Amino acid sequence: MSSPAVSTVPGATAPAASPSASDRDLANALRALAMDAVEAAKSGHPGMPMGMAEIAVALWHRHHRHNPANPAWPNRDRFVLSNGHGSMLLYSLLHLTGYALPMEELRRFRQLGSKTPGHPEHGHTPGVETTTGPLGQGVANAVGMALAERLLACEFNRPGFELVDHYTYVFLGDGCMMEGVSHEACALAGTLRIGRLIAFYDDNGISIDSEKGQIGQWYTDDARRRFEAYGWQVLSVDGHDVEAVDRAIKKAKRNKDRPSLICCKTTIAKGAPKKANTGAAHGAPLGAEEIAATRQAIGWPYPPFEVPQAVRDGWDAREPGKRAERRWNLLFKKYAALYPAEAAEFTRRISGNLPAQFREKFDAFLADANQKAETVATRKASQNALEVLVPAVPELLGGSADLSGSNLTIVKGSHIVGREGGGNYVFYGVREFGMCAMMNGLALHGGFIPYGGTFLVFSDYARNALRMAALMKIRLVYVLTHDSIGLGEDGPTHQPVEHASTLRLIPGMDVWRPCDAAETAVAWRAALERSKGPTALLLSRQNLPGAKRASVEGIDKGGYVLSDAAAARGVIIATGSEVQLALGAQKLLAEGGIPVRVVSMPSTSVFDRQPEEYRRSVLPDALPRVAVEAGVTDFWRKYVGLDGAVIGLDRFGESAPAGDVLKHFGFTPDNVAKAVRSIIR
């Protein structure tokens, strides 16, 4: 399109031409907003946004395809700020391109109730694709998002209909590079040849330690060779040269079967006369004097939080965004006419709704499992459930951190994701943290419910990703097997003792430790139906007898009376493999004339969410309580009170056959019965 001709009539007053903003202005707007917002907040990180401003111009102004009016458009490019401390860069971009993030919110950076928290929070600020700040995880999230893109494209694209064909862009700094999780996820991204993933490394030679923050004392990796070794395409540019970055992005975009790393040499706090290239600019306000000097140096005469209209117009992405989505909507309409079933399925998948009749189908399996009451390990019961779930719920995307045969996460309907094409099962390799952080990205992308397995004891390796999933309230399922000393011979390195309790302490994490096949099936159902949060399934290695219950009623309440006794004088609360001990103790006590109730408590958080009346009906105030769980005891005090007893393990386990270990530590019906006798009144 040609621009309208401007005729100059001598003597006539021509309307003041609004010159379009230069790249320099676009970048300086980002610089100014970052330094001013940090100054206003008296805290924050101005250096990174100032140093990555030109990279942001090249990407967001020339390539990033998104619609500020609809942050949920399924085929938008994804953008992840893995160096989340530079949050002001993202907030400025979202504000300037036209998201519902008014300047008022930038003025309130880091204040209570603002939309601009210290680090970007998904679900809180429109356009923030994932919560970042814990360094390294954003990169892994991005790998997950890019993998989701590829798998969805394989499943839904048809000739002439590239329904899913977006890119995933991620900014990262030295901190993300140093974090081990970036190795885990990026290595796998290289192996799986996840294309359409483009990472921008803010190579500024600065992080925090030492007076000047000069990184050479603690970080001298050759990032180029490192990523080449992973199988990435690696490009190097001057990060302050918009044209060079633009060319690199074009090249990266053309390479569709390899991820790309663009190493951008930058100067932290570029533009600040005294503080550029110093550690001082990393995480503290520049100060009024330096800010004034910076304005002078970069040629930005405007007051804080004021952006001239031409620069605003330059950044405004609402029109192109609207057009991009409109084009896609048209494409989708034509697709729907030709492929109505696929279109309906795509819409459902993106919406996050489970398939119709999910419950009916699954509940038939559940009722059957309850009736059969087979003796199986709960990890095996989980696999049995997955045999039904995987074909019925195609959004399930499984995997394991190299323990598929132990976690029993793989089923007949599992198709392994390889170097190309689709699949629904990922061999993540021995990368627990990478796996879980990737799962966050997969879930955030939409279209998938990821589940991934490892030993419960190694959930620690991944813990911060679990915490982030809970913080973001996203749906995914951790299959954590070998859930106690009952795993036996592998010994204390492999025997979790504190893990069940510590996972329960993560706000928003639902933990299930089922006692048999029926409880395991209910746990799976609850995990999938819970659209707003992650679930951890803690499963036994060893066989467990099926409990006898007339119906599965009550299991979904997290805690229920499994076996009652008339005129009960106490309650035994147990989880998982210890439920059978409780039942054994109940029998022994009954023989001795002491009737007790047994409560199975597979999920404490779910139980805690029940109405008080229900909770009191299961755990009547008047009855003394004993809790049994092969793990640390503290957590159970809240259920048994100071007068109750807890049979647990406040030390590490031992290497020996499972039966011997359990007996050695007192996990016997006899011992449970003894504890009950000691507390009944």
**Are 550 and 576 spatial neighbours (Cβ–Cβ below 8 Å)?**
no
Nearer to ligand TPP by C-beta: 283 or 355?
283
The span of 171-179, 469-477, 539-547, 664-672 binding ligand TPP (CB under 6 A) equals: 171-179
- Written in H, E and C, the secondary structure of 185-209 is HHHHHHHCCCCCEEEEEEECCECCC
Nearer to ligand TPP by C-beta: 37 or 135?
135
Question: Does residue number 467 form part of the binding site for ligand TPP (CB under 6 A)?
Answer: no
Q: Return the closest-CA partner of residue 622 out of 568, 584, 549.
A: 568
Shortest Å distance, C-beta 290 to ligand TPP = 17
Indicate which of Mg ion, ligand TPP, none lies near residue 282 (CB less than 5 to 8 Å, by partner kind).
ligand TPP
Shortest Å distance, C-beta 119 to ligand TPP = 8
SS3 state at 656: coil
The Cβ of residue 60 has, within 10 Å, a number of other Cβ atoms equal to 24
Q: Which residues contact 180 (CB under 8 A, 6 or more apart)?
A: 136, 433
For this structure, is 360 an active site residue? no
Nearer to ligand TPP by C-beta: 173 or 190?
173
Task: Kindly tell me which residue out of 44, 117, 120, 134 binds ligand TPP, with binding defined by CB under 6 A.
Answer: 134
Shortest Å distance, C-beta 204 to Mg ion = 4
The span of 69-77, 128-136, 161-169, 620-628 binding ligand TPP (CB under 6 A) equals: 128-136
Nearer to ligand TPP by C-beta: 116 or 277?
277
Task: Kindly tell me which residue out of 207, 267, 409, 540 binds ligand TPP, with binding defined by CB under 6 A.
Answer: 207
Question: Does residue number 570 form part of the binding site for ligand TPP (CB under 6 A)?
Answer: no
Shortest Å distance, C-beta 174 to ligand TPP = 3
With b meaning 16 or more CB within 10 Å and e meaning fewer, what string describes 291-305?
A: bebbbeebebeeeee
Shortest Å distance, C-beta 121 to Mg ion = 22
Nearer to Mg ion by C-beta: 52 or 443?
52
With 0-12 / 13-18 / 19 or more C-beta atoms within 10 angstroms meaning exposed / middle / buried, residue 211 is exposed
Number of residues counted as binding Mg ion (CB under 5 A):
5
Q: Quickly list H helices, 192-338.
A: 223-230, 242-254, 288-298, 309-315, 318-338
Task: Kindly tell me which residue out of 32, 33, 40, 47 binds ligand TPP, with binding defined by CB under 6 A.
Answer: 47
Q: Which structure tokens are listed for 238?
A: 């001057």
Shortest Å distance, C-beta 223 to Mg ion = 12
Q: Which structure tokens are listed for 530?
A: 């819970």
| Type of residue found at 513 | R
Question: Does residue number 173 form part of the binding site for Mg ion (CB under 5 A)?
Answer: yes
The span of 187-195, 203-211, 586-594, 640-648 binding ligand TPP (CB under 6 A) equals: 203-211
Question: Does residue number 121 form part of the binding site for ligand TPP (CB under 6 A)?
Answer: no
**What is the rounded CA–CA span in Å between residue 536 and residue 453?**
10
The span of 167-175, 254-262, 310-318, 363-371 binding ligand TPP (CB under 6 A) equals: 167-175
Pairing verdict, β 571-574 and 597-600:
parallel
Pairing verdict, β 510-512 and 543-544:
unpaired
Indicate which of Mg ion, ligand TPP, none lies near residue 510 (CB less than 5 to 8 Å, by partner kind).
none
Q: Name residues contacting ligand TPP, limited to 244-283 (CB under 6 A).
A: 268, 282
**Are 169 and 89 spatial neighbours (Cβ–Cβ below 8 Å)?**
no
Q: Name residues contacting Mg ion, limited to 185-214 (CB under 5 A).
A: 204, 206-207
**End-to-end alpha carbon distance in the chain:** 89
Residue with tokens 């419960």: 456
Task: Kindly tell me which residue out of 130, 141, 182, 204 binds ligand TPP, with binding defined by CB under 6 A.
Answer: 204
**Are 606 and 514 spatial neighbours (Cβ–Cβ below 8 Å)?**
no
What backbone phi and psi angles, to 5 degrees, belong to 495?
Answer: -95, 110
Q: Name residues contacting ligand TPP, limited to 279-318 (CB under 6 A).
A: 282
Residue with tokens 């040609």: 2
Residue with tokens 């030295």: 174
SS3 state at 622: coil
Residue with tokens 């952006």: 307
Nearer to Mg ion by C-beta: 282 or 482?
282
**Are 647 and 678 spatial neighbours (Cβ–Cβ below 8 Å)?**
no
Nearer to Mg ion by C-beta: 174 or 510?
174
Partners of 627 in beta bridges: 573, 646
- Indicate the DSSP class of residue 78: E
Nearer to ligand TPP by C-beta: 68 or 175?
175
Q: Name residues contacting ligand TPP, limited to 50-109 (CB under 6 A).
A: 83, 85
**What is the rounded CA–CA span in Å between residue 217 and residue 209?**
9
Indicate which of ligand TPP, Mg ion, none lies near residue 629 (CB less than 5 to 8 Å, by partner kind).
none
Q: How many residues does the chain have?
A: 681
The active-site residue out of 155, 184, 432, 629 is 432
Task: Catalog residues that contact Mg ion under the rule CB under 5 A.
Answer: 173-174, 204, 206-207
Residues annotated as part of the active site: 432
Task: Catalog residues that contact ligand TPP under the rule CB under 6 A.
Answer: 47-48, 83, 85, 133-135, 173-175, 179, 202, 204, 206-208, 268, 282
